[in-house]
Amino acid sequence: MANIADDRKCLYTFLGKSGLRVSNMCLGGMTFGASPVHLPGQLDESQSHRIINRFVEWGGNFIDTANVYGYGNSEKIIGSWLAGQERDRFVIATKARLPMDMSNPNCMGLSRRHLIHSVEKSLERLQTHYIDLLQSHVWDDAVPLEETLRTMNDLVRCGKVRYLGTSNVTGWQLQKIVDLSAHMGLDQFVSLQQQYNLLCRTSELESFQVCKLNGIGVLPWGPLRGGFLTDKVKQDHLPEEGRLAKSIRDEQFGKKMYFSWSHLNQDSSWAIHQAAEKVAKARGKSVAQVSLRWLLQKSVVSSVIIGATKMHQLDDNMAAATGWQLTPEEMKELDEVSTPGDFYPYDFIPWLNGNRDNPWNPRGYV
């Protein structure tokens, strides 16, 4: 593999308004380790370690996983790698909320009991004394938010966790987290991990407005929409292997993975793909690189989470990190073709505020 020049390596950004510096590309660990739900393309320990090592060669210092990925297998693989590293050089993020044992009714959710248990087990698997970023994996209707926030704050105070974030929440849920944390005098959340890509922009309507106005950094997951936003996908030539191929053959699998083929195979999706492909050909880049670069140039984004099962995929994706930019015209073209439909009142309010720009009262628009 070719050596990577310093001017092509990752840039380092702040994670939201925190003082934590992370690489602008984050390596996702969902493909590490055997998966009980038989996801295609999963990597064993040695393959995963090679991917991580190459990511580090690109300047990456930010790795994201979750306890539920492979039911602990992903964390174990990252932990065995981390044990041989200088710990303070890396930022490790994990998540808790989803069920880890379906036979145990208390082995899920954002209760005090499950959160503390989850963190203790994650620390064991990751072979570390602390987690840099603990994220609630999704909102939990069953647990009072006060209980969740107080517990996560306690985990920071006792030194097991450094920073807090959340994932997969609506705008009102995120605003409630912000307001209640402030009211209770607790540590503020610094990140939101959310699906965000050229085909999925609805979080811009509310969740990202909360982020902009409160200094919360966005960590997009699914930036290539399950492989749709790549060169290997064309209307007359569909992939024969991988998760997207499986979603084409198995609609229920696609729905479970949030990129069902019936939803992707739409005129609007192909129009977005063609626009990205047009820009890619003009710039000598891949569709994936253009799609990732579009995200990186969004001011609300701190770091983009990528996953890779092959080294050439990782190298292609990482080449979007720095060294070039989409022009304002290219950003506008991609913005326009991928803008979600007009929804009231999200279309109505900006229209009536068109001449109300006040530099001392900045708007949160992405």
* Active site (catalytic) residues: 69
**What's 48's DSSP letter?**
H
**Tokens standing for 150?**
């107080």
Contacts of 63 (CB under 8 A, 6+ apart): 26, 27, 29, 52, 55, 78, 90, 91, 92, 93
How many alpha carbons lie under 13 Å from residue 99 in its C-beta half-sphere?
Answer: 7
**DSSP-derived pairing of the beta strands 21-23 and 12-14:** antiparallel
Instruction: Report CA 161 to chain centroid distance, whole Å.
Output: 19
Residue from 276, 288, 297, 284 nearest 316 by CA = 288
Q: How many CB atoms lie within 10 A of CB 136?
A: 26
Distance CA 25, CA 318 (A): 7
Length of the chain: 366
End-to-end CA, the chain: 37
- Cite the DSSP H helix spans in 24-111: 45-57, 73-82
Amino acid at 10: C
C-alpha torsion angle, residues 138, 139, 143, 148 (rounded to 10): 70
Distance CA 122, CA 130 (A): 9
